[in-house]
Structure 1
């Protein structure tokens, strides 16, 4: 029987059952199929940079705006050929792979979409805020696909931007920081409305993804492998939703964590309403699993799976209104679950640790926080010393 016939038959059965009184509620509407991201380079665009042999050619429509062997120059020429003063996004597609010096940038102005169908290999050394993809003081920018290798200072650097989207980002690095998004050029203004769909970072010497001074952040998945510091680090970021952080060997030998919140992250005004929501944190090896520090909070982490961390599996230090394992969690081996405080900040307050199975580890609270709750904790060859 064909698909259409099968659907009609199901509908007919539902109608008969309803008429007979077997159904007391309306039939559920079938879920719409999940949208599939377009393949790199598909769809309309206003300019492109294309590699043929060893020559890059940048075109705007039928007009050639650049030819040469320098990938960065060709991509920048394609971007610069877009409509001046535009107030709607225009798109540049890059077709080919090449090298870009670490001490240089491909800069995105406002209302620009970049789709890189190839790999940017970053070579040499540099200093400052250079990055193969860079934007500052702009709005409505988007990077749909990007693959980076080599040794960038930053793979992507966005500062004081609004309405920024990163789609499918893959970085296999030998040093540097993966994605940095901040407001440190003008701290009187938040960077606002940032979306990150999927980021994979390996080999970075610093963080896979770091934010500072962002209001409005939506993250799909951050996957970190063998990075020197954190998988995802949120500094002074509010109104954030993260689906998953998946880290292996993030911050080995350091105090960094698969997921870290610091520098008053989650603080809204002078309080900590719940505004940081994390679906899942996975940490295998590395430094810490989850780390909240320096007057951060307002966070709920639904699920954790933390194993064999070299430092604390969890460290909550001078944080407020934090719930760990709101739904479920396992901690196996590695460092302890620790609630602590430094004297220069107010002590922990309104911390809830629940729904955890802790195996071959320990839970310790010292000093005692205010309104700390431990619920539904299963200890397997583990100890608990709390207030």
Structure 2
């Protein structure tokens, strides 16, 4: 697990390792397909035509509604669904080989799967300004593959806070550019595996984990993330990593790029960081429990800081091994069982 930070962030992070391998988008024979061009779309299931017309959204939804659990629909055509949501039911496989353009619809995802099991989205290319690009809650065994979002606003992938919890979620490579909010935000997931989150020019966080346990993230890579505000490329908050018995035994494993922040969370091991020229704090670990950064380098930017606020228990059981140059390392106030191994020319205020 490796943690790396680029310009434009400044808070703590935890990540873990995962990979999903798919064939080429549209490879083989799909159970249903959607083809065509603007104004003339055709959805078929096998040899049966289930839609023909000018409505891109209706063509996609008709193809989805025609298949059963365990079957796949492939969207080859590009177009716009406007202010609509594509809904994916349990057991269905949805491939977006064409580019799906979306528009802002408050409190909805451009693509939604709610209260479902065994949904797969191996490929997706999304553009536009959604409220949420993808929106989930109450899902079990959800598999996302290569997801690419070139957005002009909105939030990329959101797992909802105040709805049913989620289990066994996997993601391959998630690439988000231009989001006004987070690239990926999770709530209430037990069992999360992510290959990569790549965030570019996003307004808030790259990967934000909340009340998520038993997680493995391979890479979080950010550039121009959360510029000028308090978010970072990778952040943990809201008791992330806390197990059912209340402990923070290590269960969240990371490899992070670009800004680390963690608050009132823990149980995380970050094997390596590579951070440069971060705004705010390059690393901020605040009121955290059972956090380890095993190796890596921080160069320039704002300080590496272990801190605490009065409304939470004081930080404890934190271990940091880093090379830090042209920066400051600070522990204030003192935590419990804090271990520092710092090399480089950094000023140390421990």
The one of 77, 102, 108 equivalent to 2:88 is: 108
The 5 A counterparts of 1:224-303 are 224-269=199-244, 270-278=246-254, 280-283=255-258, 289-293=259-263, 295-303=264-272
Q: Give the aligned partner of residue 58 of structure 1.
A: 43
Instruction: Give me the CA root mean square deviation.
Output: 1.4
Structure number with greater Rg is 1
**Contact conserved, 2:150 with 2:176, CA < 8 A, in 1?**
yes
Within a 5 Å distance, the mapping from 1:339-350 to structure 2 comes to 339-350=306-317
2:349 aligned with 1:385, yes or no? yes
Q: Which residue number corresponds to residue 15 of structure 2?
A: none
CA-to-partner distance for each residue in 1:222-246, whole Å, 9 max, x for gaps?
A: 0000101111110000000000000
The equivalences for 1:1-387 within 5 A come to: 37-52=22-37, 54-83=39-68, 86=69, 89-101=70-82, 103-123=83-103, 125-128=104-107, 130-182=108-160, 184-186=162-164, 190-269=165-244, 270-278=246-254, 280-283=255-258, 289-293=259-263, 295-324=264-293, 326=294, 328-354=295-321, 356-375=322-341, 377-380=342-345, 382-386=346-350
**With CA pairs under 8 Å and 6+ residues apart, which has the higher RCO, 1 or 2?**
2
Query: What TM-score do the two structures reach when normalised by structure 1?
Result: 0.83
In the TM superposition, residue 183 of structure 1 has moved relative to its aligned partner by 5.5
Runs of 5+ in structure 1 lacking a partner?
A: 1-33, 284-288
Matched residue of 1:79: which SS?
helix
- Give, in whole Å, the separation in 1 of the partners of 2:276 and 2:77: 40
Helix, strand or coil at the partner of 1:78: helix
Where 1:75 maps in the other structure, the secondary structure is helix
Shift of 1:44: 2.8
> What is the CA-CA distance between 1:53 and the residue it aligns to?
5.6
Partner Cα separation in structure 2 for residue 298 and residue 216 of structure 1:
14
The offset of 1:214, in angstroms, is: 0.2
1:35: Cα distance to partner?
9.2
* Alpha-carbon contact 1:120-1:132 (below 8 Å) kept: no
CA distance in 1, matches of 2:29, 2:238: 42
Partners of 1:182 and 1:214 within 8 A in 2: no
Q: Which runs of 5 or more structure 2 residues have no equivalent in the other structure?
A: 1-18
What is residue 29 of structure 1 aligned with on the other side? none
Residues in 1 aligned to 2:331 and 2:249: alpha-carbon distance in whole angstroms:
23
Query: After TM superposition, which residue ranges in structure 1, 4 or more long, deviate above 2 angstroms?
Result: 34-37, 181-184
Deviation at 1:52, TM superposition (A): 4.1
Cα contact 2:140–2:169 (8 A) shared by 1: yes
Contact 1:160/1:183 (<8 A) preserved? no
TM-score, with structure 2 as normaliser: 0.92
Q: Is the 1:361–1:383 Cα contact (8 Å) retained in structure 2?
A: yes
How big is each residue's C-alpha offset from its partner over 1:116-148, in whole Å with a ceiling of 9 and x where there is no partner?
Answer: 11101113x3211x2221110101001011011
CA positional deviation for 1:344: 0.7
Q: Contact 2:177–2:199 (CA<8 Å) still a contact in 1? A: yes
